[in-house]
Amino acid sequence: MSDTLTPDVIGRRVEVNGEHATVRFAGVVPPVAGPWLGVEWDNPERGKHDGSHEGTVYFKCRHPTGGSFIRPNKVNFGTDFLTAIKNRYVLEDGPEEDRKEQIVTLGNKPVETVGFDSLMKQQSENKLKFPSGSALTGTFSALKVLVLNQTGITWAEVLRCAAWCPGLEELYLESNNIVISERPTDVLQTVKLLDLSSNQLIDENQLYLIAHLPRLEQLILSDVGISSIHFPDAGIGCKTSMFPSLQYLVVNDNQISQWSFFNELDKLPSLRALSCLRNPLTKEDKEANTTRQLIIASIGQLKTLNKCEILPKERRTAELDYRKAFGNEWKQAGGHQDPDKNRLSEEFLRAHPRYQFLCLKYGAPEDWELKTQQPFMLKNQLLTLKIKYPDQLDQKVLEKQLPGSMTIQKVKGWLSRLLKVPVSDLLLSYESPKEPGIEIKLENDLQSLRFYSVENEDCLLVRW
């Protein structure tokens, strides 16, 4: 582009050395002579400032390092329409490997495609410019799902768009550097799913502004950097009025490192499913099963954790282990087998808000339980199992001690070596002597014996 500027450049999308930006300013920036463009980069790390120079604000950026001043002749405003179509949709011949055929099924019809790999490589986000005013209010009344990922939309623009879609049910706003700046009052009232993933500027206080959306059932907060949450309207053992319909919460890839986070989630009245993978407190290491049990014991109404169903027997085991693990701490904090003599400290109740309920459900821990208490690490809890082969009459019953944290995959590997049978041929289930004749299949190789609530003296049934 030449150094001559026209008034319509503001808001234009530009490219500079492979990086994309939006023009926010055009004019002179003293004391240096000549025209300049002030741009806000899609990647804020590419910039140097927030649109200010020597104390004068020329334009504003959402990120403090998102702006730069560039000479107009360094900027690419794009190409003509036909060239853009060719470049974007890969209409020209490319390398042989980019022209691999693929079969895509549309309805019941298979369709051959060529060059889709190249197409996918060249797709990028759209930076949208939204009209002001209320002329479009209610225009898209039939629209149910709206995806605005990586569009550079602000929260104010989200609320403006929402007014155009009064029946909106699903809204996706991933990677927009959004700051929730005001409470939606007359909009978003029908939204059931809201995805705010990878908006790193969102914090706990901003979530309060969307906490009263009446129909919000699914909230996705992956990779927003959140580490804590608190519902100030609900005391210990009480339910919050916030997020009244929220059933499924996703907080993967965040900075959760305190158990108080999960204690607070127990206050959500409708929460039934939680995904909290890849957080400091829930890393998939050797103690993953212990972590799972602690979360289950902390959130009483939870039915699914990290996409795995919580079986009734698993919940019972988790809650009993929790009750025993913190029994000595409970006693030292003023706990007593006689409810009338309970004088629990406020500190203990904050750290273990469900403990009193577990004592009512299963009874307070007895002294003999606490004296024989073992460290609460599942890897140290060996299970004594009887291993039977219902379809093999010549195989004798074997009694074996196995760690409760041992995965089904590892159990199969051990049995494969013992029996000289391929792992893929082995089918495992177990039966409790308390419920003879009822078999529970061990189908998920990545889960542990403890996950399936296998206990001492249970029978491991092996078939092939």
What does the alpha-carbon distance between residue 16 and residue 18 come to, in Å, rounded to a whole number? 5
Task: Show the domains of the chain with their CATH numbers.
Answer: 7-74 (2.30.30.190), 378-463 (3.10.20.90)
What is the percent of the chain with per-residue pLDDT over 90, rounded to a whole number? 48
Mean pLDDT for the stretch of residues 342-352:
92
- Tokens for 406, please give them: 């041992």
- Tokens for 58, please give them: 């020329």
For tokens 């039915």, the residue is 303
313 closest CA partner among 194, 419, 450:
450
pLDDT digits (tens, 9 = 90+) for 32-85: 888 999 999 988 888 989 999 999 999 999 888 899 999 998 898 876 555 555
The model's confidence at residue 137, banded by pLDDT at 50, 70 and 90, is confident
**Residue 142 parent element (H or E):** none
The model's confidence at residue 106, banded by pLDDT at 50, 70 and 90, is very low
For tokens 């808000």, the residue is 353
pLDDT digits (tens, 9 = 90+) for 374-424: 444 444 467 888 888 888 777 788 888 888 888 888 899 888 888 888 988
pTM listed for this prediction: 0.63
Tally Cβ neighbours within 10 Å of residue 11: 10
- CB contact at 8 A, 70 and 37: yes
- pLDDT given at position 359: 92
- CB contact at 8 A, 19 and 46: yes
- CB contact at 8 A, 428 and 459: no
- pLDDT given at position 401: 85
The pLDDT of residue 444 is above 50: yes
What does the alpha-carbon distance between residue 316 and residue 329 come to, in Å, rounded to a whole number? 21
The model's confidence at residue 133, banded by pLDDT at 50, 70 and 90, is low
- pLDDT given at position 172: 96
